[in-house]
Amino acid sequence: MDIAGQKSSLSWAVNISVVLLVGLWLFPTVGLLVSSFRTSDQISTSGWWKAMFPSEQNLTLRTDAPELQVQEGNLYIIEGRLFAPDKDAVISEWGVSSREIDSYTAGDTAPLKKGGEVTLQADGSYRMENTEPFTGTRGTRIFVTATTPPEFTLRNYQNVLFDPSNSEGMAKAFINTLTVTIPATIIPIVIAAFAAYALAWMEFPGRALLIAIIVGLLVVPLQLALIPLLKLHNEIGIGKGYLGAWLAHTGFGLPLAIYLLRNYMVGLPRDIIENARVDGATEFQIFTKIILPLSFPALASFAIFQFLWTWNDLLVALVFLIDSTGDTTVMTKQIVELLGTRGGNWEILATSAFVSIAVPLMVFFAMQKYLVRGLLAGSVK
């Protein structure tokens, strides 16, 4: 404990520094999250940090088409509102030409190029009058500078996730990612659990050496495995596809799985296992009935690691999974592609990225306890 006298001033400093640190770490992610709920117009005209406040925007809007005009006496009139009925916006300046967008203020009347005149109020309602009938098929363009209240939309998510005609959508990639992730998480656990039990509780020559080898393999870079394994997969006929990706993830995940599980199993009480042996239980029974249930925390830790790693992986998917048809593309790859082709369309990018980030974040917050426990057990102390 700190000593009493220093507490107040120091603890203020500590609290403020932590608030700053957390803010700094959170800020970038919040930016993406907020952006994913804004329209592309909003994103490109103001920073996301201004999204909470009313913003001033330059907009190009259209009046109603001439076919809606009504005749009052000898005047032809079109009346309406530039904004959607539910939108509150306040117009400050406006114009009828793209070169002079600020010639008039709200309430002014401006002559139209094609004849007649238009009066625009601050709330966006307008009245066009002409002695001749208005012609043409489309309404007149009006350029306004308007202050609009903060506004958020779910449309981006609808486009990215539920629009079947959107070929850049994330729905298919989401399913594909899930398809890669689940077998690639479960299978290594099963294989590793048995091996970890043998390494923890069975006596045999070469055990120490094997453990050392597994610790060594923990850090072997994935990069080394790419070409040899792709070659191997092609030779034995797996080629590129889910099977190859599952196998690769299994192989790459095993060292950590065995290491974590062995470290945990070795700490289980010796008495339980020896008593069971004395009572005549076979090793297989000891493993399934005693060790596995007791090792649940370690199994959960590894499962989270492997899930996060396979869900977030790009390299293994690029090399072992995604073929030239692109049918098996995963979300990370899809996002990289969008970064290339839609680099400026932040509403698409932000939403797609958030779709892929959301699932690991949920897993993270739900199971953080196990993740921390696994990290602590997994780092070679």
Partner 1 sequence: MHPALQGILTILVGVGGCVGYFYLSNQFLDKVLCPPRGKNAGRNINRANIIRPWLFLLPALLALGTYLAYPVYETLRLSLTERSTLPDGSTAYAWAGLDNYRQMLNEPKFWEALRNNAMWLAVVPALATGFGLLAAQLTDRLKWGNIAKSLIFMPMAISFVGAAVIFKLVYDMRPIEQEQIGILNALYLNFGGEAPIAWLTVPFWNNFFLMAVLVWIQTGFAMVILSAALRGIPEETIEAAIVDGANPFQVFFKIKVPQIKGTIMVVWTTITIVVLKVFDIVFAMTNGQWETQVLANYMYDKLFRSNDWGVGSASAMVIMLLVTPILVWNVRNARREMK
Residue 37 as a binder of partner 1 (CB under 8 A): the answer is no
Residue 69 as a binder of partner 1 (CB under 8 A): the answer is no
Composition of the chain by helix, strand, coil, percent to 5: 60, 15, 30
Angle (CA) 357-362-365 rounded to 5° is: 120
Can you give the three-state secondary structure of 34-47, one letter per residue? HHCCCCHHHHHHCC
Shortest spacing between CB 190 and partner 1, in angstroms: 4
Residue 315 as a binder of partner 1 (CB under 8 A): the answer is yes
What single-letter DSSP state applies at residue 222? G
Residue 210 as a binder of partner 1 (CB under 8 A): the answer is yes
* Residue span binding partner 1 (CB under 8 A) among the ranges 103-111, 118-126, 145-153, 196-204: 196-204
Shortest spacing between CB 276 and partner 1, in angstroms: 15
Structure tokens at 62: 């259209």
Q: Tell me how crowded residue 336 is: count the other CB atoms within 10 A of its CB.
A: 11
Q: Which residues, in sequence order, are CB contacts of 352 under 8 Å at separation 6+?
A: 160, 170, 331, 334, 335, 338
Taking the C-alpha atoms of residue 215 and residue 230, their distance in angstroms, rounded to an integer, is 25
Taking the C-alpha atoms of residue 60 and residue 200, their distance in angstroms, rounded to an integer, is 71
- Return the number of the residue (6 or 98) whose C-beta is nearest partner 1: 6
- Return the number of the residue (64 or 313) whose C-beta is nearest partner 1: 313
Residue 229 as a binder of partner 1 (CB under 8 A): the answer is yes
- Return the number of the residue (36 or 63) whose C-beta is nearest partner 1: 36
Shortest spacing between CB 254 and partner 1, in angstroms: 6
Size of the site for partner 1 (CB under 8 A): 117
* Residue span binding partner 1 (CB under 8 A) among the ranges 27-35, 69-77, 86-94, 117-125: 27-35
Kindly tell me which residue out of 61, 265, 319, 322 binds partner 1, with binding defined by CB under 8 A.
319
Residue 222 as a binder of partner 1 (CB under 8 A): the answer is yes
Sign of the torsion formed by the C-alpha atoms of 241, 247, 250 and 251: negative
Structure tokens at 32: 């993406």
Residue 363 as a binder of partner 1 (CB under 8 A): the answer is yes
- Return the number of the residue (68 or 336) whose C-beta is nearest partner 1: 336
Q: Answer whether 373's CB lies under 8 Å from 59's CB.
A: no
- Tell me how far apart the terminal alpha carbons of the chain are, to the nearest angstrom: 27
Residue 366 as a binder of partner 1 (CB under 8 A): the answer is no
Residue 31 as a binder of partner 1 (CB under 8 A): the answer is yes
- Return the number of the residue (97 or 285) whose C-beta is nearest partner 1: 285
Residue 268 as a binder of partner 1 (CB under 8 A): the answer is no
The radius of gyration computed from the CA coordinates of the chain, to the nearest angstrom, equals 32
Positions in 158-177 near partner 1 (CB under 8 A): 175-176
Residue 179 as a binder of partner 1 (CB under 8 A): the answer is yes
